[in-house]
Structure formats: structure tokens, C-alpha cells
């Protein structure tokens, strides 16, 4: 059996993990507790804890401390991820503690990728767990996608890229950003091509703002951008890294 306690609120996550272990021990005084970390991890011992029981000890409780983190090497993590079904089906109880980092706007790409990999690994454990508890720092307010659109439309590519990375870390999908950028490009094309503003179905505020930023682009540039954005949608798999980085290249190329 597998219980998972995880999150970016490290103190609360650890406190709840320890409280859970104490509570189970109080209910099962005949059980034996094992504490494992990357410092004392052994594949042979872990296998014994998954499959083993003795005549004298009815139950093992295994409290693991951040075994999925690559603090020294990947031995513990790789073994656990390939034996999740065995751990979940074990007659012994595994209590996993996995602490996450909190990402902010200034995070670099390497840290972002590392966070994504760790979150994906925790999600794999979560799917196999009988019980899960998450204790994370409260997320920031909902991200305003239009801030990316504004930076893009004013040709501030550095700000557009920075905001795009922040949006992804906030849970915004690349597809959401794509459609807002396409909407802006199409509006700028309409303004450029239409002589009579009354024919445009745009609200006064949107029209005025679009007219100002459209001055920064030639029609040929906007047509090229429109084609690139639509091609990106049709030629790459939505949600893939190729799609994410393809949109990133367009933002940086404006």
C-alpha cells in the first residue's frame, strides 16, 4: 500500500507526513517502522520491504524521505518508478514524502525543466497511491494572458518571452496564449486593411489600442505572423514541447 504526502509548503508537508506515520503506529503498535532516505537507500533492502514479512512482525511501515529527488544519483528514483505497482500492491505500507520547490518569475529554463520532470514523477506516484495529501504554497493570482499579447503587440520581445515563461509556470497552456496572439494579429490586419472603421466590429477601446500597436507592423509582417501561427497549430501536436518552443520562437522573433 502506498500513501503520498507532497507539496511546496515544505514545513507543512513534512509535519503532516510525520503526523501520519505516528498516527498509523499508534493504531498498529505491532508494526515495525523503517525510515529511508537517499543516504541509506539500498535496492536489496527496499525489495525486502516490498515483498517481505516475517513470522514475528506482521507489518512493515516504510517512511521514505524525498527518494525521488536526485540528490546524489538516480538509483533510488529509477528503482521506485519502475516498481510502483509492486509498492502499491505490497502488504506493507509505504509513506512517501516528496517536497517540491516553489517557482517564481526569475526562474531559469534549467530549473523550470527540472521542476517539470519532478512534478511528472510525483504524478506517477500519485496515480498509484491509495491516499494522497498535497500542501503547497498558495499560487499567485490568475495570470493575465493579455499581458503577453500587449508585450507582443508593442514588439517588446524580451518582455513577451518572460511573461510567456511565467504564464506556463502559472498553469497557462501554450494553446491559450496562441489563440490570444492570433486574435491580436487578426485585429491588427483588419485595422490595416479597412479604410472605413465603422465596418470593423470592434469595441472603441479595442479599436483604439489596436490602431496604435498596428502602426509598429507592416501588413506583410502581420500576414507572415498569421501564417506562422496557424501553421504552428496545424503542424505540431498541441501540448508537446515542440509546440511550446515553436510559440516561444515566434514571440522572440517579433
Output the tens digit of pLDDT for each of the chain's 254 residues.
999 999 999 999 999 999 999 999 999 888 889 999 988 999 999 999 998 765 555 689 999 999 998 666 688 999 999 999 999 999 999 999 999 988 765 566 777 788 888 889 999 999 999 999 999 886 556 789 999 999 999 999 999 999 998 888 777 888 899 999 999 999 999 999 988 877 787 888 888 899 999 999 999 999 999 999 999 988 776 656 788 889 999 999 98
Q: What is the number of other CB atoms lying within 10 angstroms of the CB of residue 167?
A: 19
Indicate the SS3 state at residue 194: coil
CA 254/CA 244 separation, integer angstroms: 16
Q: CA 19, 20, 26 angle in degrees (round to 5)?
A: 90
pLDDT, residue 239, reads 57
CA 201/CA 181 separation, integer angstroms: 18
Asked if 160 contacts 148 with a C-beta cutoff of 8 angstroms, the reply is yes
pLDDT, residue 57, reads 53
Asked if 171 contacts 236 with a C-beta cutoff of 8 angstroms, the reply is no
pLDDT, residue 206, reads 85
Q: Three cell numbers at 218?
A: 507592416
| Bridge partner residues of 61 (DSSP) | 33, 93
Domains along the sequence of the chain with CATH: 2-134 (3.40.50.300), 146-252 (1.20.272.10)
Asked if 51 contacts 86 with a C-beta cutoff of 8 angstroms, the reply is yes
pLDDT, residue 158, reads 93
The DSSP code for 144 is -
CA 34/CA 30 separation, integer angstroms: 13
- Residue-wise pLDDT for 157-201, tens only, equals 999 999 998 888 777 888 899 999 999 999 999 999 988 877 787
Q: Three cell numbers at 171?
A: 498553469
Radius of gyration of the chain (CA): 26
Q: β-strand 60-65 against 32-36: which pairing, if any?
A: parallel
CA 17/CA 131 separation, integer angstroms: 12
Q: Which residue has the cell 492570433?
A: 182
pLDDT, residue 237, reads 63
pLDDT, residue 136, reads 86
For 63, phi then psi, to 5°, come to -95, 110
CA 191/CA 219 separation, integer angstroms: 10
Amino acid at each position: 500500500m502506498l500513501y503520498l504526502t507532497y507539496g511546496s509548503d515544505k514545513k507543512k508537508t513534512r509535519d503532516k507526513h510525520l503526523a501520519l506515520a505516528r498516527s498509523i503506529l499508534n493504531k498498529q503498535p505491532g508494526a515495525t517502522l523503517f525510515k529511508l532516505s537517499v543516504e541509506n537507500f539500498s535496492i536489496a533492502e527496499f525489495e525486502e520491504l516490498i515483498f517481505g514479512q516475517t513470522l514475528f512482525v506482521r507489518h512493515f511501515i516504510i517512511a521514505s524521505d524525498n527518494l525521488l529527488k536526485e540528490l546524489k544519483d538516480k538509483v533510488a528514483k529509477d528503482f521506485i518508478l519502475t516498481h510502483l505497482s509492486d509498492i502499491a500492491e505490497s502488504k506493507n505500507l509505504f509513506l512517501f514524502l516528496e517536497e517540491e520547490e516553489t517557482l517564481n518569475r526569475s526562474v531559469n529554463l534549467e530549473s523550470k525543466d527540472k521542476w517539470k520532470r519532478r512534478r511528472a514523477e510525483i504524478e506517477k506516484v500519485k496515480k498509484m497511491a491509495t491516499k494522497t495529501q498535497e500542501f503547497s504554497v498558495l499560487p499567485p493570482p490568475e495570470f493575465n494572458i493579455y499581458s503577453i499579447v500587449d508585450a507582443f503587440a508593442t514588439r517588446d520581445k524580451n518582455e513577451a518571452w518572460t511573461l510567456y515563461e511565467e504564464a506556463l509556470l502559472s498553469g497557462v497552456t501554450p494553446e491559450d496564449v496562441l489563440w490570444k496572439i492570433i486574435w491580436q494579429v487578426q485585429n491588427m490586419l483588419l485595422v490595416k486593411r479597412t479604410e472605413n472603421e465603422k465596418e470593423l466590429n470592434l469595441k472603441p477601446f479595442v479599436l483604439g489600442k489596436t490602431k496604435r500597436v498596428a502602426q509598429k507592423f507592416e501588413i506583410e509582417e502581420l500576414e507572415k505572423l498569421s501564417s506562422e501561427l496557424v501553421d504552428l497549430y496545424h503542424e505540431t501536436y498541441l501540448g508537446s514541447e515542440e509546440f511550446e518552443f515553436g510559440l516561444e520562437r515566434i514571440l522572440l522573433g517579433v
